[in-house]
Amino acid sequence: MSKIKPSQGAPYARIMGVGGYRPTRVVPNEVILETIDSSDEWIRSRSGIETRHWASDEETVAAMSVEASGKAIADAGITPEQIGAVIVSTVSHFKQTPAIATEIADKIGAGKPAAFDISAGCAGFGYGLTLAKGMVVEGSAEYVLVIGVERLSDLTDLNDRATAFLFGDGAGAVIVGPSKEPKIGPTVWGSEGDKSDTIKQTISWEEYREGSPEKFPAITQEGQAVFRWAVFEMAKVAQQALDAAGITADDLDVFIPHQANERIIDSMVKTLKLPEHVTVARDVRTTGNTSAASIPLAMERLLATGEAKSGDTALVIGFGAGLVYAATVVTLP
């Protein structure tokens, strides 16, 4: 018989509060057209994107995260001192160490929580949410702050016609805490590393350090390959998440997919046969693709505008570089 005392966590976990931060500068497609041969109509028809937000020098990864976190903490009705862990998903924090999560934890006054970064691209929020749920149920933290944050403008090649218009900056955060009922469903997640070259950084930091390239590293992708994978494979993953939660599309109130491309969103809605009453997040139109930040930012906007309400059942799915993915059904805070 084991001598180890069993963990004393909560029966279940839930999202208690959500917060978001978008940089003050709004960048229309016209600005993007200054460096690529395209048109506003082409960008909108290919992606649905009309504007995006780009961060100033002062709107750092940490600064945006602190703003979003403060809103999530207030929304959850807890104090920073009650947070037992901080998880930050980002690919645009350019210091290898220490984790930006430690700086954020200190700046929000969280005391001495566990704090670490994860790198899971556009699926990063789903990965962080799953880890947070496990912590709360296992008992290692009563409240967990999960942040998705990106400054993808720093990794955008404005001369790349295929990607220059896609990316934006911002931060989204949620508080995960204890619940007496299941409010975060089982996660369906995974990776397809054989397709890792379809979305990648153009050159490694080592290559950049050696000084051979003239350009700063940027994100590049094989657009058609990514589109086909997202449309056909991620709809299957989304359905698996519904099945794992024991519900059908008819039971949904809200669908919050990663805000990568409106054509992908439309195709997933069609494949999943979502009923007309389901509210679909389309934050991509004015925020662009913010990778790990896109789902919590879209969630925050839907709740703020009243398009979604507290207690709604939502399917969330993130997918991107790796290729990695994560989907789950949640009750909105």
* Segment 262-272, tens digit of pLDDT: 999 999 999 99
Condensed to tens digits (0 to 9), the pLDDT of residues 117-141 reads: 999 999 999 999 999 999 999 999 9
The mean pLDDT of the chain is: 95
Share of the chain above pLDDT 70, in %: 99
Cα–Cα dist 220/235, whole Å: 23
185-332 is classed in which CATH architecture?
Answer: 3-Layer(aba) Sandwich (3.40)
12-181 is classed in which CATH architecture?
Answer: 3-Layer(aba) Sandwich (3.40)
Quote the pTM value: 0.96
- Do domains 12-181 and 185-332 share one topology? The answer is yes
Q: Please identify which of the residues 29, 53, 258, 261 carries the catalytic annotation.
A: 258
Cα–Cα dist 294/221, whole Å: 18
Condensed to tens digits (0 to 9), the pLDDT of residues 280-324 reads: 999 999 999 999 999 999 999 999 999 999 999 999 999 999 899
Cα–Cα dist 77/79, whole Å: 7
Nearest CA to 304 out of 185, 132, 172, 147 is that of 172
Q: pLDDT category, 213, cuts 50, 70, 90?
A: low
**192 touches 123 (CB < 8 A):** no
Check pLDDT > 90 for residue 154: yes
Provide mean pLDDT across the span 5-9: 81
Contacts of 90 (CB under 8 A, 6+ apart): 61, 100, 117, 119, 124, 147, 148, 149, 150, 292
Nearest CA to 126 out of 227, 231, 200, 15 is that of 15
Condensed to tens digits (0 to 9), the pLDDT of residues 107-119 reads: 999 999 999 999 9
What are the residue ranges spanned by the domains of the chain? 12-181, 185-332
What does DSSP assign to residue 241?
H
Task: Compute and round to an integer the Cα radius of gyration of the chain.
Answer: 19
DSSP for 224-279, written as a single string: HHHHHHHHHHHHHHHHHHHHHHT--GGG-SEEEE--S-HHHHHHHHHHHT--TTSE
Share of the chain above pLDDT 90, in %: 89
Residue 223 confidence (pLDDT) = 84
**287 touches 53 (CB < 8 A):** yes
Condensed to tens digits (0 to 9), the pLDDT of residues 186-212 reads: 999 999 999 999 999 988 888 888 876
Q: Please identify which of the residues 29, 93, 261, 289 carries the catalytic annotation.
A: 289
**314 touches 278 (CB < 8 A):** no
Provide mean pLDDT across the span 203-222: 84
Residue 6 confidence (pLDDT) = 76
Active site includes 261? Answer: no
Please state the φ and ψ torsions of residue 17, each to the nearest 5 degrees: -160, 155
| Cα atoms in the 13 Å half-sphere on the side-chain side of 202 | 14
Condensed to tens digits (0 to 9), the pLDDT of residues 232-256 reads: 999 999 999 999 999 999 999 999 9
Provide mean pLDDT across the span 18-37: 97
Residue 212 confidence (pLDDT) = 65
Q: Please identify which of the residues 29, 53, 122, 261 carries the catalytic annotation.
A: 122
Q: pLDDT category, 7, cuts 50, 70, 90?
A: confident
Active site includes 93? Answer: no
